[in-house]
Amino acid sequence: MRVRKNACLWSAPPAYSGRGRPRKHGQKMRLNDPTTWLQEDTAIEIEEHPDLGKVLLRQWLNLHFYRAAEHPINLILIERMKPMSNGQPFPPLWLAWVGERTLPL
């Protein structure tokens, strides 16, 4: 499914420290702020597609939305490096994969 460009997702929480309630969320990742992005688990660069030009694919595993901490998703980012005909960059495409098994990029 498609994810809006200003969404926020969280990583898995750190290990339980033994005190208090266990945490539900880890580090916050804001899709519209690249400084908050986590290290991607998989990245593929397609050098020259005949129609699209250079394409960069990235994937993050086991993220979740704030109100759905028990439902992990895989986040996929598709970026076209070739600008549009008016010189503007193409907007990034964010996709979420929810399934029993992880598919390779």
- Per residue in 15-41, pLDDT (tens digit) is 998 999 999 999 999 999 999 999 999
Confidence (pLDDT) at 45 = 92
Tell me the pLDDT tens digit for each residue of 48-57.
Answer: 877 778 899 9
Q: How confident is the model at residue 73 (pLDDT cuts 50, 70, 90)?
A: very high
Confidence (pLDDT) at 50 = 77
For the chain, what is the mean pLDDT? 91
Quote the percentage of the chain above a pLDDT of 70. 100
Q: Is the pLDDT of residue 87 over 90?
A: no
> What is the spatial distance between Cα 79 and Cα 87, in angstroms, rounded to a whole number?
15
Quote the DSSP letter at residue 38.
P
- Residue 44 neighbours by CB under 8 Å, 6+ apart: 56, 57, 105
